[in-house]
Chain A
Amino acid sequence: MLREAGPGGNYGPVGQGGRFGDSLDSRHVFGHVFGIEIVIACVVFGAVLGLIALAGIWSHYKRRHGQEPWRKSEHHLFEGAYTAVIAAVAAFIVFLSFTSNAKPAHVPPAKVHVYVTAYQWCWRFTYQGTGVSITATCEDGHVPTLELPTHTVVHMSLISADVVHEMWVPHLRFKMEAFPDHVNAWDTELYSTGTWPGRCSEFCGIYHYAMHFYLKAVTPATFTTWLHGEEAKLHSGHTLAGNSGEALP
């Protein structure tokens, strides 16, 4: 029996997931921080390779000229100096991590609220206040699509109906774990239209590899039309399950 995430449900405390610096654009924040850290990483890696090369060349020189290896093995001033440099780099990265993960100062109230239920082995997306609920089988290429409007703050609430899952949209550079007895909630905003794959990234059993969905971002007008269409279908008695499954390309 699946437990549904939705209003009126009795779940654990709402988590504090998904906080992104000065914006709700996780992709942008990721790009910014990753850009800095990859540069630091490349500089450090290059420096270590360079110093190893220096050691090799110097050793060759010493051998050729019959020089002995250095004898001194303690340099307190130098040891203090490099420790200070490393500590400064660490402090900078801590600062970067803290600021990029800080809660935004002003988040406008969310206009769309989606409840996501992860279950073995597919997804269900329920739009608050509409009764529209999208799911599929995640078999034979039938995966559900989470349709969202662009330039709109969207509130996501994520729960699992069975084991721990994880909702990941690689394009957004963001993921959040789904627990059976705990709601994780976050706000997000999309800035361009498009369709991107979403995947489960916490091992959840034998069909974990096929637990996919699509995230489809459309203009607010298209979204409203689509949502009303789904609601109309609902009232005219269409079955819900599987009606939005889309074949993989």
Chain B
Amino acid sequence: MSTIPRRLERVAATPPEAPPLGLLGYFTATDHKKIGVLTVTTSLILFFVYGGMAITMRVQLAQPNQALVPANMYDQLFTVHGSGMIFTVITPIALGLGVYMVPLQIGAPGIAAPRTVLLGYWLNVCGAIALLSGFFTGNGAAQDGWYSYTPLSSSVYTPGPGQSLWVVAGFLSVTGMMCMAVPMLWTVLRMRAPGVTPLRLPVFCWSEIVSCLMVVAAFPSLLAAVGLVAYGRTNPAIFSNDIWDIAYQQLFWFYGHPVVYVMFFPFAGVVVESLATFAGRRYNSYKPTVIALLMFAALSMSVYGHHMFTTGQIANDYYSLTSICLIIPAGIEYFGYLGTIIGGRIRWTTSFLFSLGFVVQFLIGGLTGVMLGTTVLDYDFHGTYFVVGHFHYTLFGGSVFGLMAGIYLWFPKVTGYLLDERLGKVHFWLMALGTNTAFMPMLILGFTGLPRRVSTYAPGYGFGTLSAISTAGAFIIGIAMAVFVVNVIRSLVRKVPAGPDPWGGHSLEWATSSPPPRYNFVAVPPVHSYAPLLDLRLEAEKEGDKQGRPA
């Protein structure tokens, strides 16, 4: 415990690993790579479960006055879809990618406090089980939306165990995320290989650092918020006083906005790695991007009030100011992305295409976000399908596309096998088509007057056609996901070997075998910048030139 092996010579001398325990090994793992794979895979399975709920909802909404599912069931579906995706899918995947990749990218043999990280995984699994088990209880699962405002979520208005299980789920999964974030932060602060200074960390590592900082600073606020709901479910009288209703909103959104960034930054970091690798260029404007990430993390603590502009109980101008200031770090990131691919020699891989999809679609999410941060526009958009369209552009068009860019980039590293590029491109184009067909109509629906969280709507306002288009988009996304599953299974069956560095990567994870050995590296190459492997290649090229060989 006290001697974390920092010197790599010692790592190389570590005795060979104990005989593998098979499947059981995954449940007692202290290897950050196993925990990372476990986290991401579990959350991907849950992603399909909650995604199925989304498609059910889209079918219900395809036409006006439809009663495919009862209103009460519809409310459970959107609540579990939203809470589940946020608590137990995107956040754990965002951190799980880091659990796998951060130690590799910093040349470390492992992660700090691996059992705490594993505990985080299991707490999150228990959270997911708690949330889903609500469906088997008397009044059904949680049904008050992912932010479950009081006093609606008190036992007076939502009796039954389902909503209480939502409290349990929120508490467990968010505690689990803190258990993952703190060791990761410790790892990146204290376990870097020699030569890996803070300003030589890959951008992905920085994106995980700022995400972990936000987890540490903001996630405890959710524990307080759900604690308040828990108390209110035993003593609902407290919510007859406005102070506790508004306090709940404050506590919830103090977590609720930073969590959006935790669900976003690691994927923005993935996109940086993917764009730089496939443009064949060192990532452009590294330092401004690092400063922008830190500025984002700091600002994320003060923007949450923009969720409450219409409460009449918050300083609207202040939160409008802080929210709009987010344009500055966001703009710097975009200049970084574009500055990297312009002047590059692009390889149009699936991972690169998903990264471009991220850049374009997240931009729609960001630009509509500026509108939501403008107070007088939010007076119209708040609580409507415009908001639903906006955050699906950020979280699906952005984060999930970033995730896919990461999967196509790192799958060979993690499994040792290549994914099929042709199927990957089919996956990408279907998913891009589906995303825009599903979510663009939502922006227009909100603009024309459809509130969110309605289990059905009246005919005669023109909502039917756009809703039907959106439903068609949801099905296209479903097909795209099926292609993805086929691609993964096919690749695991066919086992086309990837080799240690199939892409000509820039960062240290490509300097070891695929998959990496138990303690990651036999020897860490010298690190002189945030793209050490690119440095080595360029040096070799120069040597080649000197000796008169073609580069």
Query: Do A and B assemble together?
Result: yes
Chain A: which residue is nearest B149 at the CB level?
A164
Give the CA-CA distance A44 to B370 in the complex, in Å.
Answer: 12
> How many Å lie between the Cα of A121 and that of B325 in the bound state?
39
Give B356's nearest chain A residue, CB to CB.
Answer: A52
Look across to chain A and name the residue whose beta carbon is closest to the beta carbon of B538: A71
The yes or no answer to A30 lying at the interface (CB within 8 A) is: yes
Residue A204 at the B interface, CB < 8 A?
yes
Interface residues of B in 195-213 (CB under 8 A from A): none
Q: Which of A33, A56, A79, A200 contacts B376 (CB 8 A)?
A: A33
Chain B facing A: main interface SS: helix
Pick out which of these stretches binds chain B: A10-18, A106-114, A145-153, A215-223: A10-18
Q: In the complex where A54-B342, A162-B151, A163-B157 touch, is A203 in contact with B375 (Cβ < 8 A)?
A: no
Question: What distance in Å separates the Cβ of B159 from its nearest Cβ neighbour in chain A?
Answer: 12
A201: which B residues are within 8 A, CB to CB? Answer: 382-384, 451-452
* Contact segment of B283-291, B418-426, B492-500: B283-291
Q: Mark A122-165, 1 if CB is under 8 A from B, else 0.
A: 00000000000000000000000000000000000000001110
Bound complex: CA A75 to CA B321 (Å)? 29
Interface string of A201-212 (1 = CB under 8 A from B): 111111111001
B20 within 8 A of A: no
- List, in ascending order, chain B residues with CB within 8 A of A248's CB: 458, 460
- Give min CB distance, B516 to chain A, whole Å: 27
Select from chain B the residue with minimum beta-carbon distance to A99. Answer: B376
Judged by a CB distance under 8 angstroms, whether A83 is at the interface is: yes
Query: A241: CB under 8 A from chain B?
Result: no
Among B284, B375, B460, contact of A100 (Cβ-Cβ < 8 Å): B375
For window 361-391 of B, CB contacts with A under 8 Å fall at 363-364, 367-368, 370-371, 373-377, 379-380, 382-384
Complex-state Cα separation, A208 to B158, whole angstroms: 14
Known: A68-B345, A83-B328, A96-B374. A207 touches B283 (CB 8 A): no
- The CA-CA distance from A21 to B316 in the complex, in Å, is 14
Chain B contacts of A86 at CB under 8 A? 327-328, 331-332
A240 within 8 A of B: no
Taken residue by residue from 180 to 209, chain A's Cβ proximity to chain B (1 for < 8 Å, 0 otherwise) reads as: 111010000000000001011111111111
A58 to B283, CA, bound (A): 17
- The answer, yes or no, to whether B279 is at the interface (CB within 8 Å) is yes
Give chain B interface residues in 327-378, CB to chain A under 8 Å: 327-328, 331-332, 334-335, 338-339, 341-346, 356, 359-360, 363-364, 367-368, 370-371, 373-377
Once the chains bind, are B320 and A98 in contact (CB under 8 Å)?
yes
A87 CA / B331 CA spacing, docked (Å): 9
Report if B56 contacts A (CB, 8 A).
no
A18–B240 alpha-carbon span in the complex (Å): 25
Least Cβ–Cβ distance between B253 and chain A, in angstroms: 13
Also in contact, A180 and B239, with CB within 8 A (given A41-B367, A97-B376): yes
Q: Closest CB-CB distance, B80 to chain A, in whole Å?
A: 14
Write out the residue numbers on chain A whose beta carbons fall within 8 Å of the beta carbon of B374.
33, 37, 93, 96-97, 100
Q: Which of B217-225, B241-249, B409-417 contacts A (4 or more CB under 8 A)?
A: B241-249
Q: What residue in chain A is nearest B311 (Cβ atoms)?
A: A177
Bitwise interface map of A from 56 to 81 toward B, beta carbon under 8 Å scored 1, else 0: 10110011000111110111000100
Report chain B residues within 8 Å CB of A100.
374-376
Q: How far is the CB of A40 from chain B (nearest CB, A)?
A: 8
B-chain residues with CB within 8 Å of residue A74 when the two chains form the complex: 284-287
User: A52 touching B312 by the CB < 8 A rule?
Assistant: no
- Taking the complex as formed, is B313 at the interface, i.e. its CB lies under 8 A from any CB of chain A? yes
- A101 interface residue, CB < 8 Å from B? yes
A173 CB-CB contact with B under 8 Å: yes
Task: Determine whether the beta carbon of B383 is less than 8 Å from that of A209.
Answer: no
Q: Is the CB of A97 within 8 A of B373?
A: yes
Determine the chain B residues whose CB is within 8 A of the CB of A52 once the complex forms.
338, 341, 356, 359-360
Residue B145, interface by CB 8 Å: yes
B149/A209 in contact, CB under 8 A:
no
A234 within 8 A of B: no
A177 adjacent to B370 (CB under 8 Å): no
| A5 adjacent to chain B (CB < 8 Å) | no
Q: What is the minimal beta-carbon distance from B470 to any residue of chain A, in angstroms?
A: 17
Contact present for B449 and A83 (CB under 8 Å): no
Cβ B342 vs Cβ A58 within 8 A: yes
The residue from B144, B313, B345 contacting A59, defined by CB atoms under 8 A apart = B345
Given contacts A30-B380, A48-B334, are A205 and B157 in contact (CB under 8 A)? yes
By a CB distance below 8 angstroms, the chain A residues around B335 are 79, 82
* Contact (Cβ within 8 A) A98 B317: yes
Say if the beta carbon of B324 comes within 8 Å of chain A.
yes
CB <8 Å contact, A163 and B149: yes
* Residues A181 and B245 in contact in the complex (CB < 8 Å), given A37-B377, A79-B288: yes
Complex contact A101–B316 (CB within 8 A): yes
Across the interface, do A177 and B312 meet the contact criterion of CB distance under 8 Å? yes
Contact of B280 among A49, A69, A204, A207 (CB under 8 A): A69
CB pair A55 B346 closer than 8 Å: yes
B147 to chain A, nearest CB (A): 9
- Evaluate whether A70 and B377 lie within 8 angstroms (CB atoms) in the complex, with A41-B370, A182-B242, A197-B461 already known: no
**B371 and A37 within 8 A (CB):** yes
A227 close to B (CB within 8 Å) = no
Asked whether A181 and B241 contact (CB < 8 A) given A90-B327, A168-B451, A205-B152, the answer is yes
Tell whether A89 is near chain B: CB-to-CB under 8 Å: yes
Contacts of B288 in A (CB 8 A): 79, 83
Evaluate contact between B152 and A204: CB separation under 8 angstroms: yes
Do A203 and B345 touch across chains, with their CB atoms under 8 A apart? no
Chain B residue, CB-CB nearest to A201: B383
Question: A55 contacts B342, CB within 8 Å?
Answer: yes
A184 to B489, CA, bound (A): 56
Q: Which residues of B contact A164 (CB under 8 A)?
A: 149-152, 245
Question: Is B453 part of the contact surface with A, judged by Cβ < 8 Å?
Answer: yes
With A86-B328, A179-B245, A205-B157 as known contacts, state yes or no: A51 contacts B379, CB within 8 Å: no
Q: A74-B287, A162-B157, A206-B75 are in contact. Are A97 and B359 (CB under 8 A)?
A: no
Q: How far is the CB of B69 from chain A (nearest CB, A)?
A: 12
Does A209 lie within 8 Å of B328, measured CB to CB?
Answer: no
Given A48-B359, A93-B324, A166-B383, do A55 and B338 touch, yes or no (CB 8 Å)? yes
A50 to chain B, nearest CB (A): 10
Cβ-defined contact, A30 with B379, below 8 A: yes
Determine if B282 is an interface residue (Cβ-Cβ < 8 Å): yes
Instruction: Name which residue of chain A comes closest to B541, CB basis.
Output: A68
Interface positions of B from 504 to 536, Cβ below 8 Å from A: none
Q: Chain B residues near A232: list those with CB within 8 A.
A: none
Q: Which residues of chain B have C-beta atoms less than 8 A from A71's C-beta?
A: 281-282, 538
Check A15/B313 contact, CB under 8 A, given A98-B320, A100-B375, A201-B384.
yes
Are B321 and A94 interface neighbours, CB within 8 A? yes
Nearest A-chain residue to B368, judged by Cβ? A41
Chain B residues 104 to 152 lying within 8 A of chain A, measured CB to CB, are 144-145, 149-152
9 residue pairs from A and B, CB less than 8 Å apart: A52-B341, A69-B280, A73-B283, A83-B288, A97-B376, A162-B151, A170-B449, A182-B246, A209-B456
Q: 4 extra interchain contacts, Cβ-Cβ under 8 A, other than A179-B311, A201-B383?
A: A21-B376, A97-B374, A101-B375, A209-B457
Would you list the 3 A-B pairs with minimal beta carbon distance, nearest first?
Answer: A15-B312, A170-B449, A201-B383
